[in-house]
Amino acid sequence: MTQIALWFACLLALFAGGNYYRKPNTQLTQITGVAALVVHTVALVQLLAFQDGFNFLTIGLLIALIGNLVLWVSNRDKDLSLLLAIAFPAAAIVMAANALSPDSLILLHSPSLGTSLHILIASVAYSLFTAACGVGILLAIQEYQLKHHNLRQLLRVPSLQVLERLMFEFIWAAFILLTITIGTGFYFIEDMFAQHLVHKTFFTLASWLVFAGLLLGHHMLGWRGKLAVKITIGGFVLLMLGYFGSKIVLEFLIGAV
């Protein structure tokens, strides 16, 4: 039943992504978007109940769900249909990976409410950073097209000012949650070396410093545009390396030896 839910959610997410690309303003597109989010949620709940815990792929599924939900809500008063056209198929890839994942992946159990909240807060932070990165890429492309007077190739997105404001709103919210995540992580980690969390902690702290510098530079020095986008992408890459990169190395490369 869990596999069926995952594959059905995968197909529905692909269908929703196609609709957001071709017909972003139709009622059918909005309905398929909501349906994709609902089935995604059902599949995640069933998967967690079946596994009795998280592994890095199920956390990826949670991050994808929250990210798509954030973009779907933001799309209600801003045209972010191009991002949704990418985000839903990306979530479909994560769903397929979960459906095909081996049972040998290490589970991260969350026996306490505190640990569960830590995982949830971290997932929301990662989702918001992902959304900020996506908005930033659209901002950079649109700015490039305007600078080179390629008006016929302008993307179907809000104005540069709206995109930039939305990007920094996502970054501020994500940065606050990342700060809470780091604090709760140090509180719940009993033995960092035994749990193989040194690399994750290093990259997460490095990412926190990058985003702290970006927000400070934006507030005090007026950093914006391409510079802000580059720093955002750099911080996002560090954050993803810290979690997914270290997990892949530990579970697939080292674990396979």
Closest alpha carbon to 155 in 5, 21, 23: 21
Q: Give the whole-angstrom CA distance, residue 64 versus residue 127.
A: 7
The pLDDT tens digits of the residues spanning 18-29 come to 999 998 888 999
Contact 34, 166 (CB under 8 A): no
The pLDDT tens digits of the residues spanning 172-181 come to 999 999 999 8
Q: Helix or strand or coil: residue 56?
A: helix
pTM for the predicted model, two decimal places? 0.85
The pLDDT tens digits of the residues spanning 31-79 come to 999 999 999 999 999 888 877 667 778 888 999 999 999 999 999 888 8
Domain map (residue ranges) of the chain: 1-103, 110-257
